[in-house]
Each structure stands twice: as structure tokens, then as C-alpha cells.
Amino acid sequence: MKKKTSLSLTAAACTALAASLISVPSMAEINQECLFTGEITQNASDSPLQIRFTSINDGENARCHAKRRGARSKVQFKATGDIQSLPEGSEVLYRYQELKDGDSSWELVSAKTPV
């Protein structure tokens, strides 16, 4: 019986190890991670989408250096199609990750339309 128990624990440990290898970049690779909360302030078809970010917080995997910038700083990124369909006044939460090799990415974590 003991062999079966230790074998199943080993299989579970291997499964957990494999899952951790497949996941997002490790903390050692991430230079900074920021969570931007904001509101869509302009979404007209003839002008670029504009979001007014109201808070910036550290991510789960790294600290955010963008919090040190001034309140009037601008950030530009290519928005995905899913946010283009949201109406003005929608609240959004974005995750920004910058890797140590210089690559960066933006991910829409959540969006809530106004009532």
C-alpha cells in the first residue's frame, strides 16, 4: 500500500511541476507588472479610443515602475478588437507586463459596461 501512495504523490508532484513550466513567464523574467484601472472616455468611430486610467497597482508577479510617473503621463498601445466594441463609460482593468528582454504586453483582464 505504501508504494501506491508514494507513487500517486509523485505523479501529483510531476503534474504540478509540468503545470508550472507551461504557465506565464516566471517572476525572474518579468521586469515589471502593472494593473491599470480606467474608464473609456472616448470611443467614436472617427477618432482613436481613449481610456482615462484612474489607478495603477503592482501586479502579482512584479512591482510596477509606472506608478512613479506623473499624473498627466500618456500610455499608448494597440487595443484588441474586444475593447473597441465597449461603449463610452465602460470600466476596464488592464495588465501590463514588461519582460527583462524588453518585450511587453497588454492584456484586458476585465471590462464592465455602464448600467
Q: What is the pTM of this model?
A: 0.68
Extract the C-alpha cell encoding 34.
502593472
Cα–Cα–Cα angle for 30, 31, 37, nearest 5°? Answer: 90
Residues 105, 80: contact at Cβ < 8 Å?
no
pLDDT tens readout for residues 84-108: 888 899 999 999 999 999 899 999 9
pLDDT tens readout for residues 62-92: 999 887 766 667 777 877 777 888 889 999 9
Number of Cβ within 10 Å of residue 49's Cβ equals 14
CA–CA dist 30, 26 (Å, integer) = 7
- DSSP of 84-105: HTSPTT-EEEEEEEEETTS-EE
* All structural domains of the chain with their residue ranges: 27-112
